Amino acid sequence: RLQKLKEMFISKFGSAPKFYARAPGRVNLIGEHIDYCGYSVLPMAIEQDILIAVEPVQTQVVQLANTNSSYLDFSTSVNNIEINKTKPQWHNYFLCGLKGIQEHFGLNNPTGMNCLLDGTIPPSSGLSSSSALVCCAGLVTLKANGKTLSKMELAEICTKSERYIGTEGGGMDQSISFLAEEGTAKLIEFSPLRATDVRLPSGATFVIANSCVEMNKAATSHYNIRVMECRLATKLLSKSKGLEWRKMLRLHDVQSKLGVSLEEMLTIVEEVLHPEPYSTEEICKCLGISLEELHSQILSQNMQEVPTFKLYQRAKHVYSEAARVLEFQKICSEAPANALQLLGELMKQSHISCREMYECSCPELDRLVNICL
């Protein structure tokens, strides 16, 4: 593959690449949609990856090409990078990683580059092709400019820089892309970022099946609406418990401030929130604020037109899923005889919660799960 990439690079740019960078995609075993709420997740990297051949150049221009001809060539000056949020094209993810590193080091005269990219992660399939591209671009920019960072620092910079494209991610994808090691999954915890090996039961094989339904996080608002619903649930739960709700952003903050267990948080959700969707007016009434304050202080720019929010379902999913992650880790470390059955049961519960409480599944995926069961 490297040889083929090198030959294509030479025919494209007329010279050989100086180095190659690689970042893997990932699959999340359990812990769906809870990283941005502050909770631990349990992903593992996969062999499918983003591979980039690079030649630093004297001109302050970045030229990007892709081995897949359906992705068009792109070139831009390395100074004053503009990232178009309205059309999330492939090169914009590269620019996120580039800009993140440039800004971190305050690079005034960044190095230009010729880059040829080869990706084996199916796009928009939930295996983090976009984050792997951001990570690989960050790595490429770091190397081309002769800078060094730890994997931990790189993961944090790439998490922040992916937000340039409008995805409010939590950091799981970037962390596992940099911190993964062969033969182990990782429990990834946030603020501060840390990764712990989770040894999966011996003889276990994970089959990654693709429902072939594409979902582009940056192009649709579903993802960011969920992030906002979790934020609003955080505020209502905090207010009901007399906490400083204006400062609270994530569901994890409520739990840690109250100093209670995840099971107790689920009871609080039942007591405080109702299953019917909340209108913006009702949210304002609960928080004692004006509609104007809700729109200007809490809702992000692309959420202004959303009429209702489901808070009970989202909070219930997050707290129950966070508990499943810890249970999954515990089973892996204790390795009982029926470990695989227990892990399978947790993954099944996770999918049911994703389907019913978080509504981030689709009929094709549900059908795939049923076939597997």
Question: Could you give the CA distance from residue 334 to residue 329 in angstroms, rounded to a whole number?
Answer: 9
Taking the model in full, what pTM does it have? 0.86
Domains of the chain: 1-28+45-169 (3.30.230.10), 221-372 (1.20.1440.340)
> DSSP secondary structure string, 139-161?
HHHHHHTT----HHHHHHHHHHH
Question: Could you give the CA distance from residue 111 to residue 57 in angstroms, rounded to a whole number?
Answer: 7
- Ranges under pLDDT 70 in the chain: 168, 215-220
**Which residue bears the tokens 């998490």?**
159
Question: Could you give the CA distance from residue 64 to residue 75 in angstroms, rounded to a whole number?
Answer: 6
pLDDT score for 283: 97
The token pair at 268 is 């609080």
Q: Which of 172, 189, 106, 186 lies closest to 134 in space, CA to CA?
A: 172
pLDDT score for 217: 58
Catalytic option among 73, 173, 197, 253? 173
pLDDT score for 216: 62
Q: Which of 122, 101, 125, 115 lies closest to 54 in space, CA to CA?
A: 115
Question: Could you give the CA distance from residue 33 to residue 339 in angstroms, rounded to a whole number?
Answer: 24
Burial of 305 (0-12, 13-18, 19+ CB in 10 A): exposed
Question: Could you give the CA distance from residue 229 to residue 59 in angstroms, rounded to a whole number?
Answer: 46
**DSSP 3-state of 354:** helix
The token pair at 250 is 């994530």
Active-site residue, 173 included:
yes
pLDDT score for 194: 87
